[in-house]
Amino acid sequence: MIAAVLLRLAFWVSCVSAFFPFVPAWVKEREEHATIAAAGRRSISSVAQDGFAFAIERRASENNDSTVVRAMRQAQWLSSKFHHRRAKTAGEASTTKRNGNTYPVVEAKPPTASMATGISQDGTDYSYFVKARVGSKGKELYLLLDTGAGSSWVMGSTCSDQPCTMHNTFGPGDSNTYNDNQKPFSISYGTGKVEGNLVTDTISVAGISVKYSFGLASKASDDFTRFAFDGILGMSMSLGSGDNFLKRLADDKKLDKNLFGVALNRASDGTSGEIRIGATNPDKYTGPIGYTPLGTKDGDWSIPIDDMTYDGKKAGCGGVLAYLDTGTSFIFGPADLVKKLHAVIPGSASVDKFSYRVPCDSNKVLTFTFSGVEYKLSPKDWIAPKDDSGQCTSNIYAREVVAGAWLLGDAFLKNVYTIFDKDQQRIGLAVTAGAQSSSSASASPSAGTGTGTGTSSSGPPGQSASGSTMISTSLPTSSAVVSQSTSSSGGIKPPLGLNGHETGGGPSPTGSAAKPSKTSDSSATPLKARTQVIIALFALASTVIAMLS
């Protein structure tokens, strides 16, 4: 009998450890969204002499989920993406596919720079993707542009799951150079998952063709019916399930400078989004570029953040790393830091410890400071539209996707021009062109002392001007895999994509990094909660045994 009791307790403990999903009461809340008319696909731009450019497009989601519901789903996906930094998550994007993909696409206008191509979207500022041609026959697919993922994958023609029937797929019949590596790949995104084999073939973006190893999904969970993209293009430097795209470009010497500049646009501001590979586009930003060295050597695009302020009031939520992820729609952070930020926003309140209600008439900007330079985040981006009850929610959510760090997605990136510089191991930020006219963003030196070593320059990368202050070496690592049993903050490291970083099967990153500093109340984390439950259960078991004896 004692054995039976212990067996039941052990089984229950294992269930507690495995259960993680958080489903607040508002998850079933819905709101209507306008349907975006389908737009015709446009051909990929040609290669320029001094660099390459390709179109990034945004696809419309087929569901009518509210902003908070989307954020919750994305947070779950990101938890997988960053939990084991080798498997990534996706966000909501859609493609216009000729075989089955019927998601509408709002096309971007032609790029102004010879090396650039437009970024299109679905009209809701939710996800951004790029056109790519795969295989010798140039099969066109839409791939989510994901700076939080190190590997790439596409939906395979042998996949019979519902998501694959709704998207464009790729298979051996689409190419004469297709090669199945006979190696499995699997990537989890919270509640979503794709799996299949690694294959090698040619992928062409912006006219750049490389022989590349990527995942070909033979199975895809139903979550992908919500997304318009046919796969993911990993733009992180970290190693994933297959080849690393940026490393392949560098090894093949495709670019003079191994960097790319990204300008994401709001749907309300037009269709001027653009990515430029191998160079920046001065027409897309104003003023100097502020550079901050990467906070780790693990390949993640993460930099230390000094602080955040609202209406001149400092929140005291800096001193940690911030991941810049084009594959994430919103902003996520440790619960205690998110609480500090909203504490300086009058009228804000949380009822579920995940999201925060804020006054709909808030018209002040949030300020993010990197290397002593302030970048402003417009209320258009940090406040979601009114829901069915007439209330507004902050787009900054309390979910520690990356242990002890902030995850800054498109809500932030729409306000800046971002340069991801692989050669110099740094990220550059500048005010987007036209931002000042709409009061959406601006940059200025902080009155306080910055915490990161930064440089600013009005010229191209590599021509930096004066430096700023020293970087703190006690900042948490962004890309090191944080074990749930040892993480001081109890957070989950992101994996692959739209909601965080990659968590798939791939080699462990190399390089050392500082241990994450304790930036959140670990008593509120699932890890500690499970530990307390386990201790209580074994105490109960001991009591039962004593009584039975």
Cβ-contact 285, 432 below 8 angstroms: yes
Query: One of 325, 336, 381, 421 is an active-site residue; which one?
Result: 325
Q: What is the pLDDT, as a whole number, of residue 168? A: 93
Q: Let me know whether 315 and 172 are in one domain.
A: no
Amino acid sitting at position 539: A
Using CA atoms, how far apart are residues 332 and 278, in angstroms rounded to an integer? Answer: 30
Query: One of 65, 122, 125, 146 is an active-site residue; which one?
Result: 146
Residue 381 lies in a domain: yes
Residue 67 lies in a domain: yes
Residue 217 lies in a domain: yes
Of 481, 509, 539, which marks where a domain is finished?
Answer: 481
Q: Let me know whether 313 and 386 are in one domain.
A: yes
Phi/psi at 444 (5° precision):
-155, 155
Is 146 catalytic? The answer is yes
Q: Give me the CATH number covering residue 299.
A: 2.40.70.10
Q: Let me know whether 241 and 328 are in one domain.
A: no
Q: What is the pLDDT, as a whole number, of residue 173? A: 97
Residues 6+ apart with CB under 8 A from 547: none
C-alpha distances in angstroms, 481 versus 404, 418, 454? Answer: 12, 25, 26
Residue 544 lies in a domain: no
Q: Let me know whether 250 and 344 are in one domain.
A: no
Is 421 catalytic? The answer is no
Tens-of-pLDDT digits for all 549 residues of the chain?
444 433 333 333 222 221 122 223 323 333 333 333 333 333 333 333 344 555 454 444 444 566 766 676 666 656 556 554 433 333 333 333 334 567 777 777 777 777 777 777 777 787 788 888 999 999 988 888 899 999 899 999 999 999 999 999 999 999 999 999 999 999 887 667 899 999 999 998 877 889 999 999 999 999 888 888 899 999 999 988 788 999 999 999 999 999 999 999 887 887 888 888 999 999 999 999 999 999 999 999 999 999 999 999 999 999 999 999 998 999 999 999 999 999 999 999 998 999 999 999 999 999 999 999 999 999 999 999 999 999 999 999 999 999 999 999 999 999 999 999 999 999 999 999 976 433 344 566 655 444 444 555 544 444 333 333 222 222 333 332 222 223 333 333 333 334 544 544 443 333 333 333 333 333 333 333 333 444 444 454 555 445 555
- Six-digit token string for 439: 């009061």
Using CA atoms, how far apart are residues 244 and 235, in angstroms rounded to an integer? Answer: 8
Residue 148 lies in a domain: yes
Q: Let me know whether 206 and 313 are in one domain.
A: no
Q: Let me know whether 137 and 188 are in one domain.
A: yes
Residue 207, Ramachandran bin (φ over 0: left; ψ between -120 and 50: alpha; else beta): left
How many independent structural domains does the chain possess? 2
Q: Let me know whether 204 and 352 are in one domain.
A: no
Q: What is the pLDDT, as a whole number, of residue 130? A: 80
Of 241, 260, 279, which marks where a domain is finished?
Answer: 260
Q: Let me know whether 43 and 155 are in one domain.
A: yes
Helices 526-548 and 2-18 pack at an angle, to 10 degrees, of 170
Of residues 77, 205, 193, 238, the one with CA closest to residue 138: 205
Q: Let me know whether 299 and 234 are in one domain.
A: no
Of 449, 464, 481, which marks where a domain is finished?
Answer: 481
**What is the residue range of 381's domain?**
288-481
- Six-digit token string for 35: 């349907």
Q: What is the pLDDT, as a whole number, of residue 30? A: 32
Q: Quick one: how far is CA 370 from the chain centroid?
A: 19
Q: Let me know whether 238 and 294 are in one domain.
A: no
Residue 28 lies in a domain: yes
- Six-digit token string for 306: 């000094």
- Six-digit token string for 127: 């996800």
Is the pTM value of this prediction over 0.75? no
Residue 404 lies in a domain: yes
Amino acid sitting at position 215: G
Residue 384 lies in a domain: yes
Q: Let me know whether 358 and 445 are in one domain.
A: yes
Q: Let me know whether 105 and 175 are in one domain.
A: yes
